[in-house]
């Protein structure tokens, strides 16, 4: 069976960007799928199944990235990972420590 590559753009909503914890969530989700999954930023593609790859992209709050998936399960992968990319994922950087 021949697969057609799927692509969709997302704006990063996590105030701290894709630092280690949200990047790990993206990689864990991507690793569940058999298809090839890439995150493209400014014309450069990064392997979404590699923590080093995702972190190397330097994705910050407000950045627009393109999620690219091709192969078995690509539609589900696009939805699952796209939901992570477009959500705040976690954290409030303004947490206050109580004395």
Q: Is the pLDDT of residue 10 over 90?
A: yes
pLDDT confidence of residue 98: 47
Establish how many alpha carbons lie within 13 A of residue 49's alpha carbon, considering only the half-sphere containing its beta carbon: 11
Q: 24 catalytic, yes or no? A: no
Overall average pLDDT of the 2-12 stretch: 89
Q: Which tens digits make up the pLDDT trace of 38-96? A: 999 999 999 999 999 999 999 999 999 999 999 999 999 999 999 999 988 665 444 54
Q: What pTM, to 2 d.p., does this model score?
A: 0.85
**Is 73 exposed, middle or buried (CB count within 10 Å of its CB: 0-12, 13-18, 19+)?**
middle
Report all structural domains of the chain as residue ranges with CATH numbers, in order of start: 6-85 (3.30.1340.10)
pLDDT confidence of residue 3: 74
Overall average pLDDT of the 22-43 stretch: 96
Task: List C-alpha distances in Å: 93 to 15, 28, 87.
Answer: 8, 23, 15
pLDDT confidence of residue 77: 96
> Among 6, 13, 15, 19, which one carries the catalytic annotation?
19
Res. 4 pLDDT band, cuts 50 70 90? confident
pLDDT confidence of residue 99: 46
């Amino acid at each position: 069976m021949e697969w057609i590559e799927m692509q969709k753009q997302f704006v990063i909503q996590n105030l701290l960007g894709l630092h280690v914890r949200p990047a790990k969530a993206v990689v864990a989700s991507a690793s569940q799928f058999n298809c090839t999954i890439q995150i493209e930023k400014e014309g450069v593609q990064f392997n979404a199944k590699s923590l080093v790859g995702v972190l190397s992209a330097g994705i910050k709050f407000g950045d627009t990235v393109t999620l690219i998936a091709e192969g078995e399960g690509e539609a589900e992968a696009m939805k699952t990972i796209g939901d992570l990319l477009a959500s705040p994922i976690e954290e409030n950087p303004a947490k206050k420590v109580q004395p």
